[in-house]
Structures are given as structure tokens and as C-alpha cells.
Structure 1
Amino acid sequence: MATPLTVNGTTHQIDLPDDVPLLWVLRDELGLTGTKYGCGVAACGACTVQIDGEAVRSCQVALADVWGPVTTIEGLGTPDALHAVQAAWVEHQVAQCGYCQSGQILQAAALLSQTPAPTDDDIDAAMSGNLCRCGTYPRIRAAIHAAAAALREG
């Protein structure tokens, strides 16, 4: 029996076993390859997506355990505009290799939805599970502060 799954505002009927990780549903079944496979054990954050606004590691969430609508990097902004976090990432030239960036951006957007004016400590705590092999952490923090300011200003 197919499982309904809403991703980026579109509901799909997924005919896969309940224990298939959400990561593979997104990448292999739906073709949304912006969500990356990193480690497979939720230690790196490359596979981060949002479920009902909460940042989660999609490699560790089974299809049957998805509790709300899923947002991936492909669905964060709109066709006409980047999300404030995405725009700040570009402005601050955060990405180097870029592999971890979709997970970083989804984690940052979830942080800002709950903490509109984060401190450096808030950012460090929220982002600590998202690893960047290139070490762009100072630019990530600066971009999050810029996105927070842009979101507060409207």
C-alpha cells in the first residue's frame, strides 16, 4: 500500500517499504538530489531536511516515521526568491566545495524559525551537528546573523 508523503508542498504516493530511510525516498524515488548522503549515521548533517519545520537527519528517519510535511533545499525558497538564509549564504560566499551546504542551510533556517535573534552560542549549539570539511564556520555564523537580521526586517 502506498504511503502519502508531502514534500515541498506536493503530496506523493510512495510505494516503498516503511523502513526505507527518507533520504533514499527523496533522492532515488523523487529525484531531489539536493539532500546529500554523508555518513549514514546522522553524524555529519549533510542529509538534513525539515519535517514540519524541525531539522532532522533524513538518513535516520524511516518513511513510516515521517510525521509531517518535508522541506528540502529545493523547496526552501520560492521560484521567484531565495529564502533569507540562502541569500545570506550567497552574500557571504559560505560554500566552498558545497557538499554540506543544503544541510547547513536547512538547519540554519530551522534555527531562525525558532530563535529570530540568535547569539553566537545559539548558532554554535544549533549547527554543531552539521560538519563542514572546508571549515567555513565563521562565514556560516556571519550568514546566519545576516539572515536573522533580514528576516526581522521583513
Structure 2
Amino acid sequence: MTKKGLFFTVLALTTGLLFSSCEKEDVLSKPVISGLEVGLNNSKIGYIGDDLHIEAEIVAEGLIDKIEVEIHPEGGDGKEITVIYTKHAGSRNATLHEHIDIPADAVPGEYHLHLTVTDKAGNSTTVEEHVELKVQVAEAL
């Protein structure tokens, strides 16, 4: 092989390596959470000693790993409630429909709800909603 031929061969190989190593890696988009409903008829109210309805549509290109719901007091009084769901793990699309138990000893007041979806690639998305926890009033007979 001539010096000129060797030069062009090395140039072609080097150029090929440069362009192949600079290709953009596939980046999965973060999970998408839509249509969040909290409480009966999306009232954003939960009753102590009862359960709190939560529903949302989830799309995760990187496949769902876990769904976490955290409810914490806005002002500091009260306990934090955390629930992790894995039953949708491995799914790309899911409808989350759950009823979270509100303990009988929960403190009434203003709370924040955080719904976080984490996919198998480690991407996560969080949506927040205001929730009021109330004492359920018994109906008169």
C-alpha cells in the first residue's frame, strides 16, 4: 500500500470513529401525568378515618418503575402519608385508580399531595395538588 493509500485509509477510519462516537444517544422523555383527580368528584377533600380517591393517566416511554403518593401537612401539624405502588411496573401506559386510607388519628387541615412517577430509566415526574382533610360528620338519623 502506498503512503497516499495508507493516509486515506487512516483518515477514513478516524472520520468514521469520530462520527460514530458523536451520535446522539437515545434519550427517553420523562413520564407524563395527566387528568389528576383527588377526592370524590375531584373535590380535593379527604375524610379522616376514610379513604381518599386518586386517579390519573400515566404515560412512561421508559416504562413505569414505581408510582409514589405522598400527602403531607401544609403547616407542619399532622403526619405524612406515603404509599408506593408497583403494580403498573413495566407498563408504558396506565390508569392509576387508588383509594388511600386516611388514618383515624390524622390532623384535620390543609395538606399537599405529591404524585411522582419514576420510570425504569430513572426519569421522574411529580405533580402536586392541594388537599383538605376533614372530620367526617355523621348523618342524622
Q: TM-score, normalised by structure 1?
A: 0.20
Higher helix share: 1
Higher strand share: 2
The structure showing larger relative contact order (alpha-carbon pairs under 8 Å, at least 6 residues apart) is 2
**Structure of higher CA gyration radius:** 2
Q: TM-score, normalised by structure 2?
A: 0.21
